[in-house]
Amino acid sequence: METKPVVELKNLSKTIGSKKIIDDLSLSLYPGQITGFLGPNGAGKTTTIRMMVGLMKISGGDVIIDGKSLKDDFEEGLSKVGVIVENPEMYKYMSGYKNLVHFARMHKGVTKERINEIVNQVGLQNRIKEKVSTYSLGMRQRLGLAQALLHRPKFLILDEPTNGLDPAGIREFRNYLRVIAENEGVSVFVSSHMLSEIELMCDRIAIIQNGKLVDIRDVAGADESHYYIEAFPTASAHDLLVAEGFTVEAFKEGFIINAEKTRIPGIIQQMTAQEMQVFTVQSHRKTLEDQFLEMTGGGQIAESHTK
Amino acid sequence: MLNLIQNEWMKLWSKKGTWLMTGLLILAVIGMMGLAKWIDTMESGGSQDWKTNVKQELTYTNESLEGPNLPADMRENFEEDKKVLEYRLEHSIAPLEGSSREKMIMNSSTIGSFVVLLTVIVAAGIVAVEFSQGTIKMLLSRPIKRWKILTSKFVTVNLFGIMLMLLGFAISILAAYLLFPSSGGKELVWNGSEVVTVSVWGKGLYMLLLSFGNVFVTSTFAFMVGSVFRSNGLAIGLSLFIYFTGSTVVMLLSKYEIAKYIVFTHMDLTQYATGYQLIEGITMPFSLAVLAVYIIIFLVISYIVFGKRDVTA
């Protein structure tokens, strides 16, 4: 689509013992885009992410970040990356501010002004001098975000970032990511098992199963017009819809068809003309969960808040 | 690298335990000096003239030298003692009294044994605790190679050890000045060609340096166990166990040639200053070489394991 990718995974593989955990994974991530990373438990999401940030060694292939290979030039490659891996574990015995100073020292060119700026951005200015052990989970998440953004990364990797946040916190977090992606052109890569979350947050979704990339698709494109129709007698309703040229799919006691809005009144008219009893005609939105289950063949999902 | 060491130093001193340990060290040194003072006041009285003592000692040394089957190195020691004692009588230079300020300052090697315990605790935890608290993933997902991070931690452990040694020394000097009177005497030694006066400060610092060898080796061992097994407790336990049982192991093995090559034989470098060597036939350069080999092995293991480890949940 637009411009050059910020991050490219090239045939990334991870072998532990004789088992291939990640198998030949290739994926490009673009600036300004939020890409969701979905998969059943044990599919290899966390392993992939840990390889991308240097926590695990790459067995095969490479990760290219802003043109720099992690294998050849680890320090340059990772200097453009901000990371939150699961719960951000900070040094609890130090103040939030000292934690940020600590991480700032590990990057080039992070000034005191920048630290203060980011503290204000995540709204921690009143508590930043207090010890992290006194923080609530939400505040720790904010601090986690602050440390990930300190050095103005071009690429932000988040592994299960909303774990343990309350709905308001999740919403705030989501909006914040949007702002960063759009205003600063940061490419964001979010892994999650919370499908509804990913659906609301992301432009694009990559789905992984058994260490292999199953599908990449745009979220907007996934929202086609489906309608649920329930009419009696069922058999003649089915025949009519097929005759009209729709792809018909049985669902509950009726059918789901893929149709444009303008065709719906005509169908209802025909049905009543043929003296069918029409009980329900409603637009049906396939949730990401349905699609996900379709694609992964019903792989176990740990937790779902879709409905 | 300086930034990383600064980070480790900041983390170290943000922990209450570090301040507690430093406080304990100060108390221990003061306590030790206080005890020495107390014992001294209990035993006071009956102090003989120093010349009588020296004469007695000289007679004893002469008798020993006449013994028929005296080992060569013992004979050498007695010869040197004899020269020093004769020099004292000749020039009327009194020896240092046991509980004098100077003696206390020179006796700085005991500080080392406290510092070992405290430095081992820091060395054992500096890597292991990052793992157990989960902060390791924040630390390693940075644009910095792992060996640099490990190096900063190792340097910090040793800076901490050095700082404690110097602090302990400073406190003991202070206590020595407050509690003990200066002795009129001098410490003399035979340097191979003549009898010379030993500088109190030089000897004090030299003993401190020698006892740091023990701190360095034991804490490097703890550092290795901590970074390989990621267990704080295991590292402390194992290191202190080795520290306390080491000399026993040497005793048991002292008949065999292998005793020369085990690390415990060489950890206590002060044996070369006090003359109480654990086994015969070893020299300071040999000890330093053996220790260097062990240190390198410990560090190579630490770096390889830490560098290759996959950080999982």
Q: Do B135 and A76 touch (CB under 8 A)?
A: no
- Is there a domain that residue B55 lies in? no
The neighbour count for residue A188, using CB atoms within 10 Å, is: 25
Which of B15, B138, B142 faces A89 most closely, judged by CB atoms?
Answer: B138
Tell me if A83 and B141 make a contact (CB, 8 A cut-off): yes
Per-residue pLDDT 10s for chain B (313 aa) are 889 999 999 999 999 999 999 999 999 999 988 888 888 777 765 566 777 777 788 888 777 777 777 777 777 777 778 777 877 777 777 777 777 777 788 877 788 888 999 999 999 999 999 999 889 989 999 999 999 999 999 999 999 999 999 999 999 888 888 888 777 777 777 777 777 777 888 888 888 898 898 899 999 999 999 999 988 889 899 988 888 888 888 888 878 888 888 888 888 888 887 777 777 778 888 989 999 999 999 999 999 999 988 888 6
Cα nearest neighbour of A47 on chain B:
B312
**Total tally of structural domains belonging to chain B:** 1
Asked whether residue B166 is assigned to any structural domain, the reply reads: yes
* Of residues A76, A85, A92, nearest to B141 (C-beta): A85
CA distances B295 to B30, B37, B207, B219, Å, are 32, 38, 21, 10
**Six-digit token string for B3:** 């930034």
> Do the Cβ atoms of A106 and B14 come within 8 Å?
no
Q: Which ipTM was obtained for this model?
A: 0.79
Query: Do A77 and B144 count as a contact with CB atoms less than 8 A apart?
Result: no
Task: Give the domain range for residue B125.
Answer: 2-38+96-308
Mutate which of A48, A49, A50, A131 to disrupt the B interface (most B C-beta within 10 Å)? A50
In a 13 Å sphere around the CA of A155, the CA atoms on its Cβ side amount to: 24
A98 at the B interface (CB within 8 A)?
yes
Residue B43 lies inside a defined structural domain of this protein? no
d(CA B15, CA B3): 19
Residues of chain A contacting residue B305, judged by C-beta atoms under 8 Å apart: none
- Tell which of A91, A97, A100, A151 to mutate to test the B interface (max B CBs under 10 Å): A91
Residue B5: burial class (beta carbons within 10 Å; 0-12, 13-18, 19+): middle
List of domains in chain A: 7-221 (3.40.50.300), 224-285 (3.30.70)
| CA angle (B79, B84, B89) in 5-degree steps | 125
Which residue from B98, B85, B84 is spatially nearest to B58, judged by alpha carbons? B85
Two tokens, residue A136: 């609530």
Question: Cβ atoms within 10 A of the Cβ of A47, count?
Answer: 22
Query: How big is the A-B interface in CB pairs under 8 Å?
Result: 79
**C-beta pairs of A271-275 under 8 Å, 24+ apart in sequence:** A271/A231, A271/A237, A271/A240, A274/A236, A274/A240
Flag whether B141 is in a domain.
yes
Residue B102 lies in a domain: yes
CA neighbor of B170 nearest in space, from B98, B115, B119, B99: B115
In a domain, B81, yes or no: no
B208 inside domain:
yes
Asked if residue B71 belongs to a domain, the reply is no
